[in-house]
Amino acid sequence: MVFSRIHSFFPLARLIKLLIFLAAGMQFIVITQMYVAGSTLFNELPALLFRIFRGTLMTFIAGYLLAYPALAVIRSLNKRLPWKGNGVKRFLIQFSVALLSGILVTPLILVTAGFLFAMEYDSRTFQDNAYYMIVLSLFLMIILEAWIYLEESTKEKIKAERLEKELIEEAAKKMIFEAKAQVEEIKANTAHQLIEQEKWLNQELQSAIKKSELLTHQLNESRGQLRSLLSNLIGAAYRCYFDEAYTMQYISEKILDLSGYPPVDFINNQGRTYTSIIHPDDVELCARAISESTKHRAPFEVEYRIIHAQGNVVWVKDNGKPIFNPDGTVSFLDGIIIDITRRKEAELAARESDLKYKELMDFLPQPVFELDMMGNLVYGNKAGFEFFGLAPADPEKKISVIDCFVEEDKPRVIENVRKSVGGVATEPAEYTAIKGDGTLCPVLVFGSPIIRNNEIVGRRGIIIDISERKKYELKLVKAKEELEKINTTLEQVVEKRTRELTETNTKLLQVQKENLQSQFEVLKSQINPHFMFNSLNVLSGLINKDIGKAQQFIDEFSHIYRYVLETLEQPVVTLEKELDFTRSYLFLQQIRHGNDLSYTVNLPSALLKWVLPPLSLQVVLENAIKHNIVNESKPLKIEIFSENNHLVVRNNIQPKISAVASTGLGLKNLVKRYGLISEFTPMFQVNTDYYVARLPLIETE
């Protein structure tokens, strides 16, 4: 009974159409907000489609449940509290009912969603959905009130006009009938009656005119409310003719924010045509997309550029549909224009970042690779393709990196790949690779798993050609054998020489051996594959989070690598250059550790031209980070200052529980390098609270 009364007041078919449009519109707004916020849901199309379906269905159900209380309240208020003089009371009642309905419907919708889609919810989900239901209830109450008010206003106007016409026709008929019947007998009475009737008709006509003016005023208020609703949309709503100029019949105030021109400029092309602000290169694109839409009687969606009044380019997305006349011709185009400039700029920045990442990888002289779970090559840099002679072929063709190694090493390669994709840590391993020209080359391979969305999807690594190192090792072995022979020969030849000469010769040989060994150690430590590989892993994760910081990371990483190459054969560098390198190195470390790692530099400018062996600071800083805890509860603090012509590096001591075993080779090698260029010796001291390294600075002439 209640439902039949409501549907006699507002038809069911109209209600369902309204709810379908409202559910689709609300989901469009929610999905757009999620897209702008960078939701990861857009990376998975099935999950996105399911989210849209679920949201549309639950919004439709919620709207259906909320519509009946809203219609019942409006119907009751229309009978008891007309709009004239009761606007505030009606608003308070409708607002309270909408708020209460939204709160009451929330648990019912959550239970239904849990039953239909197995959704899990907590207090935060209840609060978010309650807010959504209240907004939906208020929005639905406003739409229904505006619709019913507009419809009743129109009906009253038509009714008044019909009544006026009927009254006039009835009076005219009556006057003619009475005039014909009594024209001769009661002329005076007829004249008197005609005068009285004319007065009455004038009064009725004035009353009808007043009612018409009231209806016109109420209609204007309804139109104002509709314009207010349209102005709150995220884009500019419009209705235009399907012509070359896209002549606007209506366009909302939002076009001022998008183009810098007021809406009145576009209405009937008073100030300019809408086509005039479309980028010249995109005019044909728009025309083609809309023509195709009208041809298939389907909605259209096109992205193009417009020229802002200030001269800058704004990217927009135009969603609309053609409205057809009964004869099949296009009457209007209805749609909404949304600003997507930020999204376009983000896409461009992401492409540029990917390009810079690839260029950086191609800049590296060592082969860099990425494998899938089966050991097939999915990415390689320029050096890798040149080293193995592999041309970047058809992406559908799989290239197995296992075939790039000799048969004896393939089982170990397969085992390391299997461990890596299984999440087991692997150590760098030496293999014999087959180069593109068919020759064999000893290599050192560093690798680790590729982790995306907390899942291992492959293996990433770098290959170091150790041919030169092997040659140096062979030369050292031969040199050692020759030195042993020389020592034996010298012992036989110089038996009769004095003890002083013998000791001098022995020291000379020892210095030569240490010099060769030190040069070899310096050569090995110049390029640290572990540091390079860890930095590439950090960069890979940073690209998806912060493009700007990823760009800065690439620049600092390039600076470090360039410094290593430039100082490869230099015995000393200035303190100024070493500090510049140190800042880049610590920037990369702070990206990994965040605010848990901090440092200060306090040095007089007079010492910046003094010299020291290259990468001396890097050895000390790497030891501090490697052997100490670096976390939020125990941050690592490093101080760099000078004292008595020494560069002092001091850090607080907080050793790791499972500390990495230290060989001390880095510090020993640093002492040897100082011994080759001066008589000064670095000093390293551990006290209760700090570890202190003192590096001598050498004054230049």
Question: Which residues touch 381 (CB under 8 Å, ≥6 apart)?
Answer: 358, 361, 362, 364, 367, 368, 369
Give the residue carrying structure tokens 């704004």. 314
Give the residue carrying structure tokens 């700029």. 345
Q: Which pLDDT value is given to residue 529? A: 63
In the predicted structure, residue 551 carries a pLDDT above the cut 80: yes
Please give the residue that has the higher pLDDT: either 461 or 393.
461
Query: In terms of Cα–Cα distance, which of 523, 564, 579 is closest to 695?
Result: 579
Q: Which pLDDT value is given to residue 412? A: 84
Please give the residue that has the higher pLDDT: either 606 or 63.
606
Give the residue carrying structure tokens 């030849």. 493
Mean pLDDT of 81-108: 77
d(CA 377, CA 398): 7
Q: What is the DSSP string of 612-640?
A: E-TTHHHHHHHHHHHHB--SSSS-EEEEE
In the predicted structure, residue 452 carries a pLDDT above the cut 90: no
Q: Which pLDDT value is given to residue 419? A: 78
Mean pLDDT computed over every residue of the chain: 79
Query: In terms of Cα–Cα distance, which of 75, 76, 71, 126 is closest to 104?
Result: 126
What beta strand segments (E) does 363-493 contain? 368-371, 377-380, 429-434, 440-452, 455-465
**pLDDT tens digit string along 336-392?**
999 998 888 888 887 887 777 777 777 777 788 777 777 777 777 777 777 766 655
* Residues belonging to the chain: 701
Mean pLDDT of 23-46: 76
**pLDDT tens digit string along 454-465?**
788 777 888 888
Q: Quick one: pLDDT band at residue 662, thresholds 50, 70, 90?
A: low
Q: Which pLDDT value is given to residue 516? A: 44
Inter-axis angle of helices 575-593 and 616-627, to 10 degrees?
A: 20
Mean pLDDT of 482-495: 68
In the predicted structure, residue 640 carries a pLDDT above the cut 90: yes
Q: What percent of the chain has pLDDT over 70?
A: 82
Name the token pair of 606. Answer: 């007079």
Q: What percent of the chain has pLDDT over 90?
A: 20
d(CA 458, CA 451): 8
Q: Domain 567-696 adopts which CATH fold?
A: Heat Shock Protein 90 (3.30.565)
Please give the residue that has the higher pLDDT: either 322 or 143.
322
Q: Is 690 helix (H, G, I), strand (E, B) or coil?
A: strand
Spell out the domain ranges in the chain.
Answer: 2-231, 236-339, 567-696
Task: Provide the phi-psi class of 615: left if phi over 0, else alpha when psi is between -120 and 50, else beta.
Answer: left
Mean pLDDT of 214-226: 64
Least confident segment among 258-262, 306-310, 377-381, 530-534? 530-534
Q: Are 384 and 363 in contact (CB under 8 A)?
A: no
Please give the residue that has the higher pLDDT: either 657 or 611.
611
Q: What is the DSSP string of 52-101?
A: HHHHHHHHHHHHHHHHHHHHHHHHHHHHHS-STTTHHHHHHHHHHHHHHH
Q: Residue 163 corresponds to which amino acid? A: L
Q: Are 664 and 626 in contact (CB under 8 A)?
A: no
Query: In terms of Cα–Cα distance, which of 220, 232, 68, 74 is closest to 142?
Result: 74
Q: Domain 236-339 adopts which CATH fold?
A: Beta-Lactamase (3.30.450)
Please give the residue that has the higher pLDDT: either 418 or 9.
418
Query: In terms of Cα–Cα distance, which of 399, 398, 403, 425 is closest to 413?
Result: 403
In the predicted structure, residue 428 carries a pLDDT above the cut 50: yes
The H or E element containing residue 455 is strand 455-465
Q: How many CA atoms lie within 13 A of 461 on its CB side?
A: 26
**pLDDT tens digit string along 511-537?**
544 554 554 454 445 445 666 777 777
d(CA 534, CA 562): 18
Q: Is 312 helix (H, G, I), strand (E, B) or coil?
A: coil
The DSSP bridge partners found for residue 302 are 318
In the predicted structure, residue 306 carries a pLDDT above the cut 80: yes
In the predicted structure, residue 263 carries a pLDDT above the cut 80: yes
Name the token pair of 186. Answer: 């009661």
